[in-house]
Amino acid sequence: MTTLKITPAKLNGSVCVPSSKSMGHREIICAGLSAGTSIVDNISMSDDMEATLRCLTALGIGFQKVPSERSGRTALAINGSGNVRVSQSTVDCGESGSTLRFMIPLGALCGEPLTFTGHGKLVTRPLQAYYDIFDRQGLSYTTASNGYLPLTVNGVLKSGDYELPGNVSSQFISGLLFALPLLAGDSVLKITSALESQSYVDLTLSCLAKYGIVIEHENYYKYHIGGGQKYRCGRNMVEGDWSQAAFWLVAGTLGRQITCTGLNRDSLQGDMVVTDIINRMGGKITCDAEGNHTASSASTNGVVIDAADCPDIIPVLTVLAAVSEGTTEIINAGRLRIKECDRLAAMTSELNKLGAAVTELSDGLIIKGRPEGLQGGCVDSWNDHRIAMSLAVASLVCKKAVIISGSECVQKSYPEFWQDFTALGGMIKTVGTGESI
Ligand SMILES: O=C(O)C1=C[C@@H](OP(=O)(O)O)[C@@H](O)[C@H](O)C1
Ligand SMILES: C=C(OP(=O)(O)O)C(=O)O
């Protein structure tokens, strides 16, 4: 485990944000399901993207790295056959919920046993929505106790009527939307409770459409999925990641000025709402003609933030709230408890260690702002990339150093995070084992 000591410093400068992890997963899955070769350019590699690539291999889909046409990042040539088959009996999904939930229905097209393993919190993250479908269809599967990983699926999904809850994870909906068009018959998918993370369903539908898959829906609650469809190869670029930009836009608001490049101002990513939220709090985020977004230093005030459609930006917005004038209420955030860690508990515990005043509710947070700043101290990442990156941003407003243990977890989505943090003026030192802090 790596421990970092961050000496408080105001960050300043420009950063090219990684490409979208959510869109990257979707692109390489759709490319892998097409017959022929697709190029997906501008992929930011991370542990989660590696996990999805391992799944493609297990499903008999080939890929190779090729020179990028327009970015300095990875471009992948992905060779699919238009369908899936089990080419490896076990696949490790790492800690990636998206990977696991997108791949299970594809594994359940193969008609041969395929075992999904994972690590950390992924082992216990909810999968019941799929088990209910398998039970209804009589599809054979086994799990460790309590439905935990490893999960082995062994059977073929049947076309027809499907139901899913809308408030556990939209990743189940995306997973079925990838797989059901490949069945011979038509399917209808109904969402039986309030839909959260709807923007992620939009990302799925838009990627499917790019690859030639037609799905009609009635206001996101009923999806009509024609069977016998074929994915069509493509050449696509992945745009910048708004969830990652959020860290820098909060850091710019708390620091001097930070410009994020590589972003699409017309993005379908729900986390783009971070600009509206920061501006609503009194921040100063502007956008130029190229879509570069600049956050300038500003004094901010508390607001109500609805987490239903943007769960991933809540930890870093909690940091901004912690030093804003007045009170911030985070609502509809119960789902944050079933991510890489319990993010409501983690942000409450770790920010309060730094001197913040955060109160945890069952599905939200109340944050009493301390505009005078925080103290600093020793905190833990809870092995969650978004907690580690949020605590790094919190260091900007601390009087004393912030020591973060478990800082290596940023590998999950943003391996270059600490390099970028340093390039913007952050002062980081690795603390060796046994070294006093
Ligand atoms: O589909 C996706 O790419 C994601 C959906 C969201 O999860 P939920 O739908 O479980 O909220 C989000 O938190 C996750 O980081 C990525
Ligand atoms: C929750 C996240 O990812 P996943 O659900 O794919 O593990 C995340 O990246 O914050």
Q: Going by CA atoms, what residue is nearest to atom 8 of ligand 2? A: 312
Give the CATH fold of the 3-18+240-431 domain. UDP-n-acetylglucosamine1-carboxyvinyl-transferase; Chain (3.65.10)
Task: Judge whether 135 counts as a catalytic residue.
Answer: no
Q: What integer pLDDT is reported at residue 254 of this predicted model?
A: 98
The pair of structure tokens assigned to 135 is 């039970």
Cα 412 to ligand 2 centroid, rounded to whole Å: 9
pLDDT at 71: 75
Domain at 21-237, CATH homologous superfamily: Enolpyruvate transferase domain (3.65.10.10)
Question: What pLDDT, in 10s, does the model give residues 357-375?
Answer: 999 999 999 999 999 999 9
pLDDT beyond 80 at 284: yes
What distance in angstroms lies between residue 326's CA and the mean position of ligand 1's atoms? 30
Give the closest residue to 174 by CA, choosing from 130, 119, 237.
130
pLDDT digits (tens, 9 = 90+) for 334-364: 999 999 999 999 999 999 999 999 999 999 9
| pLDDT tens figures, 168-194 | 999 999 999 999 999 999 999 999 999
The angle formed by the CA atoms of residues 387, 363 and 318, to the nearest 5 degrees, is 35
Percent of all residues in the chain with a pLDDT value above 70, rounded to a whole number: 99
Cα–Cα distance between 353 and 350 in angstroms, integer? Answer: 5
| Calpha distance 48→326 (Å, rounded) | 37
Mutate to test the pocket of ligand 1, among 19, 169, 340, 413 (most ligand atoms within 8 A of CB): 169
Question: To test the ligand 2 pocket, which listed residue (55, 339, 414) has its Cβ within 8 A of the most ligand atoms?
Answer: 339
pLDDT tens readout for residues 97-149? 999 999 999 999 999 999 999 999 999 999 999 999 999 999 999 999 999 99
| Nearest-angstrom CA–CA distance, 201 and 436 | 48
Check for a shared fold between 3-18+240-431 and 21-237: yes
- Total residues found in the chain within this entry: 437
Distance CA 245, CA 271 (A): 9
Whether 437 has a pLDDT exceeding 60, the answer reads no
Ligand 1 centroid vs 437 CA: distance in angstroms? 36
Average pLDDT in the 223-237 region?
Answer: 97
Q: Which residues contact 68 (CB under 8 A, 6 or more apart)?
A: 41, 42, 74, 75
Helical H segments across 292-424, by residue range: 314-322, 343-353, 385-394, 417-423
The reply to whether 54 sits in an annotated binding site is: no
> Counting ligands in written order, which one lies closest to the CA of residue 169?
1
Q: Answer whether 96 contacts ligand 2 (Cβ < 6 A).
A: yes
**Structure confidence at residue 154 as a pLDDT band (50, 70, 90):** very high
Task: Find the mean pLDDT for residues 213-222.
Answer: 98
Pick the residue whose CA is nearest to atom 10 on ligand 2.
Answer: 312
436 annotated as a binding-site residue: no
Determine whether the annotation assigns residue 339 to a binding site.
yes
Say if residue 436's pLDDT is above 70.
Answer: no
Ligand 2 pocket member 312 (CB < 6 A): yes
Give me the pLDDT at residue 360, please. Answer: 98
Q: Rounded to whole angstroms, how far apart are CA atoms 321 and 335?
A: 20
- Read off the pLDDT band of 72 (50, 70, 90): confident
Task: Report domain extents, the chain.
Answer: 3-18+240-431, 21-237
Structure tokens belonging to residue 120: 């950390």
Helices (H), 255-329: 274-280, 314-322
Question: Would you give the end-to-end CA distance of the chain in angstroms?
Answer: 16
Instruction: Give the distance (Å) from ligand 2 centre to CA of residue 19.
Output: 15
Within 8 A by CB and 6+ apart from 131, the residues are: 141, 143, 147
Annotated active-site residue in 47, 312, 380, 420:
312
Annotated binding-site residue? 257:
no
Amino acid 69: pLDDT: 81
**How much helix, strand and coil, in percent to the nearest 5, is found in the chain?**
35, 25, 35
Give pLDDT, residue 434.
61
Q: Taking residues 300-315, what's their average pLDDT? A: 98
The alpha carbons of the chain give a radius of gyration, in whole angstroms, of 21
Residue 60 DSSP SS3: coil
Output the pLDDT for position 28.
98
Check residues 240 and 70 and name the one with the higher pLDDT. Answer: 240
> Would you say the CB of residue 413 lies under 6 angstroms from ligand 2?
yes
The model's confidence at residue 70, banded by pLDDT at 50, 70 and 90, is confident
User: Nearest C-alpha to atom 5 of ligand 2 is from which residue?
Assistant: 97
> Which residues neighbour 86 within 8 Å (Cβ) at sequence distance 6 or greater?
58, 59, 60, 107, 110, 112, 113, 114
